[in-house]
Amino acid sequence: MPFNRSMPLFAIFLVTSVLVGLVLPANAEIVALVEPHNGITYYDTDNMPKQAAMASSSLTAHGITFNITYADNGTNLGFDDPSEGTARKAALEGALTYIADVINATGTLDVEVRTSLDNNGISTLASAGTFYTTSNGFFDGATFIRINSGTKPFPGTPEISMQVNWGYSFNVSNDPPGAGIFDLLSLLVHELTHGLGFTSLIKSDGTSEFQIDHGTATFTSLDILLFRRTTPTYLLAGNPPSLQGNVADLIGGDIAFDGSTATSNYGSAPPIYAPNPYSGGSSMSHWDTGTIVGNPIMKHSIPPGVSRRTYAPVDVGALIDMGYTNASTAGVPSPTLTAISGEGEGEGEGEKPKDPVACGVASSMESTLWGDGMMFVGVLLLLIHLSRRNNQAQRASA
């Protein structure tokens, strides 16, 4: 075989193939945990803690069984706090029970509660999210996929992963929060709704949050319904999806949600949070706090002393539009602590109820597996994904 210019590439391909075979098991997949208030974390599905073996407790409510893993167990911290741990877990179970009642579906979900934080030096009170495949297109998150299909999409990963920062003062009772106290039930319902898939992957430049670290135009079932209200244009379209308007649209305060049920429930297309400057983690993933009417859960912030525990019709409409078609609040009580009641106002360890921020605004790209030493492997993985992407099932774009 005569030498030609393709030889070096062919040799690289051969070496790459051998190395990939050594590095990645055949069914390995890179998935991403997307938490609006924490950022993106990539995982190799073959390198995850085994959820079933770690499950700390199980809760069955309104047709859904939640297998809950508490990383705090045995530490006397956070959800294992000797005086408040029971009430904190009861609040989480109360929030999950409420959500199960609203979405009115059957199935099983694995919920991972990561090691708690205790840091009032950061604005994030809590974060939660679900997992997404890393391919080009619009995708549902793992929570919806498992509820909808009955099949766990990413074996080895939970469907919802969450974390609470106890560095602030939280109300852990069924009573309303006092002045300067954040309401835990309100916070948890908000965060877990991100865990249902109420989240955007649109970055400030209009590309996907996955674009730089993973090279894919991956977007969500919320993103597909976002549009510019003036001269109506969907923000994203095409295959792979790309920004259809201008980057200025993302900070123009003129974005709305095109879901038919949310629009019907609200009376018009509900406004999406799109401030200037772009607020990573808050922009696109919430209702427009300043203009949305009513008191929906999915505003981007909540002040201390305020209780916001129950979905507004616009919240439920959005869940229906994103695929939870049985969702309804008819006959559904507000969330309460499930195991105890009337304990009075709980106290966090912090004394600093700072900004009226529900769950923080930081959004940084985080990569637990892709450190500098993994750069070469990263290139190999990218090659694999490029070859795979035509075979990946995708939702049709708008």
Binding positions for Zn ion, rule: CB under 5 A: 359
Burial class (CB in 10 A: 0-12, 13-18, 19+), 398: middle
322 versus 359: smaller Cβ distance to Zn ion: 359
From CA 398, how far away is CA 392, in angstroms rounded?
Answer: 18
Shortest reach from residue 361's CB to Zn ion, in Å? 9
> How far is Cα 340 from Cα 6, in angstroms, rounded to an integer?
70
CA proximity to 284, closest of 316, 313, 320, 247: 247
Give dist(CA 152, CA 54) in Å, integer: 17
> Which residue(s) pair with 220 in the sheet?
139
Minimum CB separation of residue 321 from Zn ion in Å reads: 18
Between 173 and 301, whose beta carbon lies closer to Zn ion?
A: 301
Residue number, 41 or 51, with CB nearest to Zn ion: 41
Residue 32 or 357 with smaller CB distance to Zn ion? 357
Encoded amino acid at 158, one letter: P
Among residues 131, 141, 124, 266, which one has the least CA distance to residue 187?
124
In the complex, what is the shortest distance from the CB of residue 194 to Zn ion, in angstroms, rounded to a whole number? 6
User: CA dihedral in degrees (135, 141, 142, 143; nearest 10)?
Assistant: 180
Nearer to Zn ion, 162 or 235 (CB): 162
Please say which residue, 28 or 306, places its beta carbon nearer to Zn ion: 306
Q: Work out how close the CB of 91 gets to Zn ion at its nearest, in angstroms, rounded to a whole number.
A: 17
Position of minimal CB gap to Zn ion:
359
User: Could you tell me the smallest distance in angstroms from the CB atom of residue 179 to Zn ion?
Assistant: 23
Cα angle value 145/135/155 (rounded, 5°):
45
We find the least distance from the C-beta atom of residue 300 to Zn ion, in angstroms, to be 6
To the nearest whole angstrom, how small is the minimum distance from the Cβ of residue 285 to Zn ion? 6
Q: Which is nearer to Zn ion, 30 or 226 (CB)?
A: 226
For the range 74-77, what are the long-range contacts, defined as Cβ-Cβ under 8 Å and sequence gap of 24 or more? 75/115, 77/116, 77/118
| Percent helix, percent strand, percent coil in the chain, to nearest 5 | 30, 20, 50
